[in-house]
A and B are shown apart, each in its own frame.
Chain A
Amino acid sequence: MASIDTAVPPGEDPAPYHEEVADPRRRDFINIAAVAFAGVGAGVVVLPLVNQMNPSADVLAQATTEIDLSKIAAGQAIKTSFRKQPLFVRNLTPAEIAAADAVPLSELRDPQSLEERTKGKKNWLITMGVCTHLGCVPLGAGEGENKGPFGGYFCPCHGSAYDTAARIRKGPAPTNLVVPDYAFSSDTTVTVG
């Protein structure tokens, strides 16, 4: 049966209608090339649509926070914020430093010494106030808050307990409280981020 596209209109040169005998046909090649080109184009178009959901320039610009340490006495802690998240800054007492140093690393879920978690000044413990379990704010930085069984921080959501180096000791959280990038810009000021 002659279909529409193989029928030769009367009075026309039949040659073009019978040329496609090679394998692959010219038409197949054009088809694959066109669809592949369109596919790559569609893929590229998706990139900005995905990228627009990443933090925008103004959000990234919030990335540094200055902290004045001069008002924080030994044994005190403050809550401030870094990238719209709570940040704990704690001035450890010598007893708390000793308690942290006394724990053998082999007992820890996420082994890290207090030395590694501070920057030269062992009494300044600066961590994110975000429980590594599911993101609640642990207690312990504010005056009179429950510091938990290990004297550091205690998360009321699911009972994760952190020690005086903010290391996870008990409960469901997998890792220690995160120490952000920071540097001492002077003896009493810290730049976080």
Chain B
Amino acid sequence: MSFPWAKQYQPQNSLMKWVDERLPVPRLVYNAVGAGYPVPRNLNYFWNFGVLAGAALGIQIITGIVLAMHYAANGAIAFDSVEHIMRDVNAGWLLRYAHANGASMFFIVVYLHIFRGLYYGSYKAPREMVWLLGVVIFLLMMATAFMGYVLPWGQMSFWGAQVITGFFSAIPGVGETIRVWLLGGYAPDDAALNRFFSLHYLLPFVIAGVIILHIWALHIPGSNNPTGVEVKGEQDTVPFHPYYTAKDGFGLGIFLIVFAVLLFFYPNYLGHPDNYIPANPLSTPAHIVPEWYFWPFYAILRAFTVDFILPAKLWGVLAMFGSILLLFFLPWLDSSPVRSNNYRPKARIAFWVLVADVLILGYCGGSAADPVYVILSQICGAYYFAHFLIILPMISRSERPTPLPNSITEAVLAKHGGTSPAHTALTPAASS
């Protein structure tokens, strides 16, 4: 589906015509990321991050397939096989560092992508399904990243596996049985390592599949835009190619520069030195923390210190999963018909407070479990839930938005110092 003015694919020669009549893949590409997909003309650079996330997934899949050619998922030799990759395999250091830091880059762009969606109301009707699929992708990413981090079989790998599977032991009654089932043993060992490797290889392709659904769902209403006002006519859009292929290409260049700086100059900056110590089931590292991209959720997990009806351990696990599952309900928690926070003065403030809140949670999650950080985690964790369950629904009902532009084109022209009724959607015929 697309706008009625979308350009139709015209095969350039008889060969492409022959292909198009039998398997219209070129047409599919043309309509998805070519000139056949009309996109709002006013997208800013925050709209780069979807493409960048796709690129990051591509980098992870390519480097991951290559690493799997050298890695051995066996507790006795897994750690050595990773060192073998680092020291013996041709360009192995490059491929492994690219994969490890590529995961961080993937999460950086995905977090920016999510906050872009939050700020500009991209989760609202008619794009709820895009948002829901996005949360599914995020959950799959977290599972994939966790299992990948276990594979080098260092100290952080081992104790990460121990702690994360320990979440399930919080389930009343059957918890311990589930934990043992997940691990295939009483502690992480060969069985766990092998199944994590198998699933770590599988899930990225599941993610790729859900991304196809995510883009499919997106292309039905078309992209949101910084005004949040729907496209009203041809003058509000430009073809994806060349306008956004060029803009995304530029963004990809910046992304790759940042990635290269991280990869070539600070390859271990985001890692933990403890993971260069082989896994030891008899000794837990003094300061055990997950990778940075899990810190906010880890802070919420640790924030529960007192039993209240349920054990504190169970509260922590429920809250941690709840903080993500909550996002599934966001499209219905925020009932304001105005999408973009550019026109919502109160929601905009709440948005930036939420950003600060999540950053503080992240800082707490990455720090040792000192009482100060635990209290801070409790306050910020409570605020996180309050934002989505209380503050945002209340603002949606009480807030008076600032006037919206009549159309995307009017907003664009107003920025350039003039408005022309002839170019707005009220008289679409006048523009052509």
Using a CB–CB distance below 8 Å, which chain A residues touch chain B? 1-2, 4-5, 7, 9-12, 34, 38, 47-49, 51-54, 56-59
A48-B249 CB under 8 A given contacts A4-B235, A4-B238, A9-B416: no
- Closest Cβ of chain B to A24, distance in Å, is 16
Knowing that A7-B423, A57-B88, A58-B84 touch, tell me 7 more A-B residue pairs with CB under 8 angstroms: A9-B416, A9-B420, A11-B418, A12-B418, A48-B94, A56-B90, A57-B89
Contacts of B235 in A (CB 8 A): 4
Residue of B nearest to A12 (CB): B416
Sampled A-B contacts (14; CB under 8 Å): A4-B41, A5-B238, A9-B413, A9-B416, A12-B416, A12-B417, A47-B91, A49-B91, A51-B91, A52-B91, A56-B88, A56-B90, A57-B89, A57-B90
- Chain A residues with Cβ under 8 A from B66's Cβ? 49, 52
- The smallest beta-carbon distance between B237 and chain A, in angstroms, is 8
Q: How many residues of B contact A (CB 8 A)?
A: 26
* B243: nearest chain-A partner, CB-CB: A5
User: Which 8 A-B residue pairs are closest in the complex by CB-CB distance?
Assistant: A48-B91, A11-B418, A57-B88, A10-B418, A56-B88, A51-B90, A58-B88, A56-B89
Are B413 and A56 in contact (CB-based, < 8 A)?
no
**Is the C-beta of B70 less than 8 angstroms from some C-beta in chain A?**
yes
Residues of B whose CB lies within 8 Å of any CB of A are 41, 62, 66, 69-70, 84, 87-92, 94-95, 235, 238, 249, 412-413, 416-420, 423, 432
Tell me the bound Cα distance from A47 to B62 in angstroms: 13
Q: Which of B41, B62, B88, B90 has the most CB of A within 10 A?
A: B90
| B91 partner residues in chain A, CB cutoff 8 A | 47-49, 51-52
Inter-chain CA distance A54–B88, complex, in Å, is 11
Chain A nearest CB, measured from B176 CB (Å): 42
Q: Using Cβ atoms and an 8 Å threshold, which residues of chain A touch B238?
A: 4-5
Contact indicator A57/B87 (Cβ below 8 Å): yes
Which has the most chain A C-beta neighbours within 10 Å: B69, B87, B91, B418? B91
In the complex, residue of chain A having the shortest beta-carbon distance to the beta carbon of B252: A38
Say whether, besides A4-B235, A56-B88, A48 and B95 are in contact (CB < 8 Å). Answer: yes
Given A48-B94, A52-B89; A9-B418 close (CB under 8 Å):
yes
Q: Are B90 and A54 in contact (CB under 8 A)?
A: yes
* With A4-B41, A49-B62, A56-B84: A10-B420 Cβ-Cβ less than 8 Å: yes
Q: Which residues of B contact A52 (CB under 8 A)?
A: 66, 69-70, 89-92, 95
Cα of A53 to Cα of B432 in the assembled complex, Å: 57
- Which A residues are CB-close (under 8 A) to B87? 57
List, in ascending order, chain A residues with CB within 8 A of B62's CB: 49
Question: In the complex, which residue of chain A has the Cβ closest to the Cβ of B87?
Answer: A57
Smallest Cβ distance from B81 to chain A, in angstroms?
11
